Chain A
Amino acid sequence: MFFMNTIYAIMAAFRQHWKNTTSNMWSLSFFFGSVPQIAVFGWIAIQNPDPHVLAYLSVGAPFGTVWNSVFFGIAGALSSEIWNGTAEFTMISRTSMLTALIGKAMAMMVFGIPVGIVALTAMLAVAHQWPVIANIPLAFISSIFVFIGLTATGLVMAPVVALARGRTAGMFTTFLPIIVAFSGFMYPVSALPTGLGVVAHILPSAWAMDSVMQAIMGPESAWAVISGWLYSLLLSAFLLAVTYFLFKVVERRLRITGLITY
């Protein structure tokens, strides 16, 4: 019963956030801003005769676009609730705020998919080539882990932004490329200098992209792919645990001190 109620709550939050997002013209900016950039990736990829470059970018680059499109919607979801005065209603409901936010995050991620698909289409149209992927099913499954990792990364930012009470304005333009650069969406993380490569592997999406690379090249071993999924999943779970803890902090402040309002 509890499980079904949670699903209903997530679906309701999904619908609400979906309507809210798609009714705004500002969402067009994701297409305007991202598609030309990804089309350029298509040109870059074919400058290298190695077909794996195009294959890697055709998976990674659209994820970068998805991230850029969904981040604001996820990270700002909780602070928007507080700003608009609807967080109080979530407080008096038996549904936890985190459950509602998961529904909203999923709505944003699904919203990002068409942007990613349009970007991929633009890239392949420029490249005039089909990417060569050694193991497509493994690449697809790895992509799901990238997707989960990005959702978890976005979600952890929601309470952080709310706790910062508007003091993060202007900082997102730096945070967005950090995740893209360290997730290895534009190049394998192994291409980064050693120190930065270690930092990158804090992100679940970086591990999942390692598995994507394995799937493209042809896996060295089953463990090489599965370990990427496993670490990605563990880090996503860790981020969700941190998110849960931070939501409790937000909830406590809202209920007791009221210090979180703008």
Chain B
Amino acid sequence: MYNFWIQTWTYYKGLYDWLHPRGYIANVIGTPVMFVLMWAMMGRYAIDPAASAYYAIGMNVSTMGYNIISALTMSYANDRWYSGLTYLYITKANRFLNFLSRCIPHYTTGLLSFITGMVMIRLITPVDFGAVNWTGLIVATLVVAASVLALAQFLGIFCIIFTEWLNTLAFSLGVTFILCGFVLPLNIFPQWVQEIGKLLPMTNGLIAIRAAFSGAAFSTFWFDILREALTGIVYFVVGYYCFVFFERVVKRSGKLEMEQYG
């Protein structure tokens, strides 16, 4: 276990470029503050105060997702950029533990971002914090953060395959922005689009988070949390198999140059 935690810390410290006080504070405090403020003001101007609360909650989850996904995808891209993967491929290190170790510290980054966003929601929107179902909110948030982590692990593989990790990041953010219900309610889409949206992490969890904010009983949204957790597990498993599969491809072809796969 000692080696596992050393590995976890090394990946975190060595590959996450924004892990210094200025960068970290900017991302876990500055970014959620600005995004929640911006979208709450936007909702108030364009529609009404209720919309401002709706957007603020959605953007808080979105910013948590952004923080986790950008951190992890960057770490994967850096691992290839700094040639760390080459050394991993010549060792007998347990690949599953290696895969797992890459994501753990980023969980806290997402949660801290969410907490900052909560403070902003309290300050600038009409959400009644006295009515919030706190147990449900905490459980839903913990599950959503884990599920986003799984999505980021899955996306990380594309960041070691393709040269430009920013394209992977931007594409994933663009798709989740539309289909996860951060701003657009899912029910405006046709049923089949809604189902696609629910295959993405954050969608089901956000339904639960919104329900918890409105004070709904846990029994009314436990299934959304369960579905969110299952979605996360699927992404994690698929991500792990892609990670192992890519190693096989590299070893078979002998090609790991940056521009090799596009």
| Binary flags per residue of A40-59, CB closer than 8 Å to B gives 1, else 0 | 10011101100001000100
Contacts A36-B177, A181-B41, A191-B41 given; does A170 touch B183 at CB 8 Å: no
Given contacts A177-B38, A181-B37, contact A33 B170 (CB under 8 A): yes
Whole-angstrom CA separation of A152 from B51 in the bound complex = 34
Are A173 and B27 in contact, with the CB atoms below 8 A? yes
- Choose from B47, B170, B173, B177 the contact partner of A44 (Cβ within 8 Å): B47
Q: Which residues of B contact A28 (CB under 8 A)?
A: 164, 167, 170
B223: A residues at CB distance < 8 A: none
| Contact (Cβ within 8 A) A48 B47 | yes
Which of A26, A29, A40 is the one whose CB lies under 8 Å from B178? A40
Contact, CB under 8 Å: A170 / B27: yes
CA distance A188 to B46 in the complex (A): 10
Q: Are B34 and A178 touching (Cβ within 8 A)? A: yes
Please state if A169 and B23 are interface contacts (CB–CB under 8 Å). Answer: yes
Q: Which residue of A lies closest to B38 (CB)?
A: A181
- Complex CA gap A34/B26 in Å reads 21
Write the chain B residue with the least CB distance to A168: B22
User: Does B184 belong to the interface (CB within 8 Å)?
Assistant: yes
Q: Which residues of B contact A33 (CB under 8 A)?
A: 169-171, 173-174
**How long is the Cα–Cα vector from A167 to B183 in the complex, in angstroms?**
34
Residues of B close to A173: CB separation below 8 A: 26-27, 30-31, 66, 70
Contacts of A25 in B (CB 8 A): 163-164, 167
Q: Hey, which chain A residues are within 8 Å of B66, CB to CB?
A: 173
Q: Given A44-B46, A171-B22, A180-B38, A36–B17 Cβ distance below 8 Å?
A: no
Question: Which A-chain residue is minimally distant from B17 (CB atoms)?
Answer: A169
Shortest A34–chain B CB gap in Å is 8
Check if A187 is an interface residue, CB within 8 A of chain B. yes
A192 vs B34: C-alpha distance when bound (angstroms): 13
- Measured between beta carbons, the chain B residues less than 8 angstroms from A174 are 26-27, 30-31, 34
Nearest opposing residue in chain B for A54, CB measure: B46
Q: Is the interface of B mostly helix, strand, loop or mixed?
A: helix
The smallest beta-carbon distance between A261 and chain B, in angstroms, is 19
Chain B contacts of A180 at CB under 8 A?
38
Return the chain A residue nearest B172 by Cβ: A32
Contact of A37 with B by CB under 8 A: yes
Write out the residue numbers on chain A whose beta carbons fall within 8 Å of the beta carbon of B17: 169-170
B217 on the A face (CB < 8 A)? no
B27 CB to closest chain A CB (Å) equals 6
- A177 to B170, Cβ gap below 8 A? no
Smallest CB gap from B33: residue in A: A174
Tell me the smallest distance from the CB of B207 to a CB of chain A, in Å.
18
Q: Hey, which chain B residues are within 8 Å of A191, CB to CB?
A: 41, 44-45
Q: Across the two chains, which residue of chain B brings its CB closest to A177?
A: B34
Q: Please report the C-alpha to C-alpha distance between residue A85 and residue B258 in the assembled complex, in whole angstroms.
A: 23
Does A246 sit at the interface, judged by CB under 8 A? no
**When the two chains form their complex, are residues A30 and B27 in contact, meaning their CB atoms are under 8 A apart?**
no
The docked-state distance in angstroms from the alpha carbon of A114 to that of B69 is 27
Q: Check B92 for interface membership: any CB of A closer than 8 A.
A: no
Flag B172-210 by CB within 8 Å of A: 1 or 0 each.
011101100001100010000000000000000000000
Q: Is the CB of A47 within 8 A of B183?
A: no
Query: B166 at interface (Cβ–Cβ under 8 A)?
Result: yes
* B177:A40 contact, CB within 8 angstroms: yes
A119–B42 Cα gap in the complex (Å)? 18
Instruction: Find the B residue at minimum CB distance from A24.
Output: B164
Name the residue on B nearest A196 (C-beta): B37
Nearest Cβ on chain A to B31's Cβ, whole angstroms: 5
- B170–A30 touching, CB < 8 Å: yes
Asked whether any CB of chain A lies closer than 8 Å to the CB of B35, the reply is yes
Residues of A contacting B82 with CB < 8 Å?
A: none
Among B22, B41, B178, the residue within 8 A (CB) of A170 is B22
Q: A36-B178, A169-B18 are in contact. List 5 more A-B contacts (CB 8 A).
A: A32-B170, A44-B47, A45-B46, A169-B20, A170-B22
Contacts from B to A (Cβ < 8 Å): 17-18, 20, 22-24, 26-27, 30-31, 34-35, 37-39, 41-47, 51, 66, 70, 163-164, 166-167, 169-171, 173-175, 177-178, 183-184, 188
7 smallest beta-carbon distances between A and B, as pairs: A170-B23, A170-B18, A174-B30, A33-B170, A187-B45, A29-B170, A177-B34
